[in-house]
């Protein structure tokens, strides 16, 4: 009997199938040849799917990538220069595939002001953070930007 | 933050998901609440979920395998402690929160939110119904919108 069948039978003594699904995830045991076949089949489907992703799907996924990287950074409590406001704004612009002029227009700010913020020569204000939230269709909330900036400030106060 | 719920009152319970530390393996074993041998998962990324502000009792464990070559995270094992299983449970959504956390990691790592599992054939339909997984050959997976929907459902939305 396969290992996964033994596990399943053991769990079935106590739980219904629905309860097993609510409380466990475990792998089906396969023979090496079955596993090879399953892996090959999956890999083919996965690579095909990746190849056929639309630009819109990639854009949304990249925005969510940035969002969850910021979220996990904020939850970590650590400080990293990589996550300074200006660096993250630069990454946001890359993700949206807009150039600096276009993003300045979108955010209704002067390109010079955007450039100064990107180069750390001018501090971002709360209004810019709200505009960024709106620009991301509210995926990246204004308070994420605020917390990134305040962590940077905190580090600066601590170290200078 | 995971959105665990008190089963009786429906009230949200403040909880957290973190990578396990060495002492957690002993804690899990000594609790007598876990069926699987979690020490065998040490080679993978292992996370725990617990209630914040209580005694940090581990409610559930999750073992993940990172597959950057296929842009995915594989759910190798999830287990919820015995007294939160089946009819005994007092807290809802523990496994859902762990799965959603894996989805969040899969976005943050640039895998388009792709999370896979390889359940017993008999349980496939139930995982699909419960969490919205789709079939990719013999494996199940969630990605993109489905993955994002799980995050919003189980980990909450920053706008709330």
Please compute the mean of the pLDDT values over residues B58-84 and round it to a whole number: 97
- Give, in degrees to the nearest 5, the angle at Cα A62 between A56 and A67: 130
In this structure, the answer to whether residues A40 and A96 fall within a common structural domain is: no
Q: Do A30 and A100 fall into the same domain?
A: no
Q: Which of A130, A127, A151, A152 is nearest to A141 (CA)?
A: A130
Domain count, chain A: 2
Q: Which of B94, B110, B136 has its CB closest to that of A65? A: B110
Dist. CA B68–CA B108, nearest whole Å: 12
pLDDT at A88: 97
Do A12 and A86 belong to one domain? no
CATH number at residue A79: 1.10.260.40
**B82-91 average pLDDT score:** 92
Q: Does A37 share its domain with A115?
A: no
Residues 125-144, chain B, touching A (beta carbon < 8 A): 126-127, 130, 136-139, 143-144
Task: Inform me whether the pLDDT recorded for B157 exceeds 80.
Answer: no
Look up the ipTM and state it. Answer: 0.93
Domain check: are A109 and A85 in the same one?
Answer: yes
d(Cα B116, Cα A113) in Å, to the nearest integer?
45
pLDDT(A155) > 90 = yes
Tell me, yes or no, whether A94 and A141 share the same domain.
yes
Give the DSSP H or E segment for B15.
strand B12-19
Is the C-alpha dihedral spanning A84, A87, A90, A96 positive or negative?
A: negative
Give the pLDDT confidence of A108-123 residue by residue, as tens digits. 999 999 999 999 999 9
- Looking at residue B88, what is its pLDDT? 84
Res A28: pLDDT: 94
Residue with tokens 């700010």: A109
Mean pLDDT value of segment B63-73: 97
On the question of pLDDT at B160 being above 70, the answer is no
Q: What is the pLDDT of residues B100-153, one digit of tens each?
A: 999 999 999 999 999 999 999 999 999 999 999 999 999 999 999 999 999 999
**DSSP 8-state secondary structure symbol assigned to residue B29:** H
Confidence of residue B158 (pLDDT cuts 50, 70, 90): low
Residue B9: Cβ within 10 Å count: 8
- Look at residues A67, A90, A48 and name the one whose alpha carbon lies nearest to residue B110: A67
Are A114 and A73 part of one and the same domain?
yes
Where is the domain boundary, A51, A74, A89? A51
Q: Examine the domain organization and report whether A18 and A44 are in the same domain.
A: yes
Q: Which site among B17, B81, B123, B150 would you substitute to test the A interface, given the most A Cβ atoms closer than 10 Å to its Cβ?
A: B123
Instruction: State which of A33, A51, A69 marks the end of a domain.
Output: A51
Give the phi and the psi of residue B93 in degrees, each rounded to 5.
75, 20
Residue B112, chain A, CB below 8 Å: the answer is: yes
Length reported for chain B: 160
Interface test with A, best of B14, B35, B40 (most A CBs within 10 A): B35
pLDDT at B49 over 90: yes
Residue A10 has pLDDT above 80, yes or no: yes
Question: Using CA atoms, how far apart are residues B129 and B156, in angstroms rounded to an integer?
Answer: 20
Q: Which residue of B has its CA nearest to A43?
A: B70
Contact of B88 with chain A, judged by CB distance below 8 Å, is answered with no
Q: Tell me the mean pLDDT in the region A38-52.
A: 96
**B112 contacts A17? CB cut-off 8 A:** no
Burial class (CB in 10 A: 0-12, 13-18, 19+), A29: middle
Residue A24 has a pLDDT of: 97
What b/e readout covers A117-151, taking b as 16+ CB neighbours within 10 angstroms? bbeeeeebeeebbbbbbebbeebbbbbbbbbbbeb
The answer to whether B107 faces chain A, any CB pair under 8 Å, is yes
Asked if A59 and A37 sit in the same domain, the reply is: no
pLDDT of residue B55: 75
Of A11, A29, A51, which residue sits at a domain end? A51
Residues A70 and A25 in one domain: no
> What does the alpha-carbon distance between residue B13 and residue A159 come to, in Å, rounded to a whole number?
37
| Least CB–CB distance from A19: residue in B85, B99, B117 | B85
pTM of structure: 0.94
How high is the pLDDT of residue A82? 96
- Convert the pLDDT of each residue in A95-151 to its tens digit: 999 999 999 999 999 999 999 999 999 999 999 999 999 999 999 999 999 999 999
Domain boundaries, position A107:
55-159
Cα angle A100, A104, A105; round to 5: 120
Phi, psi dihedrals of residue B50, rounded to the nearest 5°? -150, 165
Cβ-proximal residues to A103 (8 Å cutoff; 6+ apart), any chain: A93, A96, A114, A135
Q: Which of B129, B105, B104 is nearest to B119 (CA)?
A: B129
> Are A70 and A41 contained in the same domain?
no
- Residues A33 and A82 reside in one and the same domain: no
The reply to whether B77 touches chain A by the CB within 8 Å rule is yes
CB contact under 8 Å between A61 and B76, yes or no, is: no
Paired residues of B141 in beta bridges = B116, B134
């Amino acid at each position: 009997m396969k290992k996964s069948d033994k596990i399943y039978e053991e769990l079935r003594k106590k739980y219904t199938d629905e309860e097993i699904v609510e409380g466990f995830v475990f792998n089906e045991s396969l023979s090496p040849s079955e596993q090879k076949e399953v892996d090959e089949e999956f890999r083919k489907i996965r690579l095909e799917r990746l190849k056929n992703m639309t630009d819109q799907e990639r854009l949304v996924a990249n925005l969510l990538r940035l969002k969850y990287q910021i979220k996990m950074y904020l939850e970590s409590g650590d400080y990293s220069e990589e996550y300074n406001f200006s660096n993250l704004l630069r990454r946001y612009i890359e993700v949206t595939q807009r150039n600096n002029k276009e993003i300045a227009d979108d955010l209704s700010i002067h390109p010079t002001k955007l450039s100064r913020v990107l180069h750390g020569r001018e501090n971002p204000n709360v209004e810019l953070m709200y505009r960024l939230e709106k620009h991301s269709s509210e995926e990246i909330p204004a308070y994420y930007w605020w917390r990134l900036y305040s962590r940077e400030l905190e580090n600066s106060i601590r170290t200078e | 933050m995971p959105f665990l719920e008190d089963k009786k009152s429906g009230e949200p319970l403040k909880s957290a998901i973190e990578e396990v530390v060495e002492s957690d393996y002993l804690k899990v074993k000594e609790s007598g609440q876990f069926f699987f041998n979690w020490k065998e998962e040490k080679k993978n990324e292992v996370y725990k979920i617990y209630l914040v502000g209580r005694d940090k009792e581990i409610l559930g464990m999750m073992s993940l395998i990172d597959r950057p070559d296929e842009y995915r995270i594989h759910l190798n094992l999830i287990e919820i402690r015995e007294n939160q299983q089946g009819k005994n449970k007092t807290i809802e959504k523990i496994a859902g929160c762990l799965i959603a956390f894996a989805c969040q990691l899969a976005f943050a790592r640039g895998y388009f939110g792709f999370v896979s599992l390889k359940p017993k054939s008999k349980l496939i339909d139930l995982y699909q119904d419960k969490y919205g997984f789709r079939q990719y050959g013999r494996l199940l997976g969630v990605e993109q919108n489905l993955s994002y929907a799980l995050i919003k459902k189980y980990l909450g939305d920053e706008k709330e």
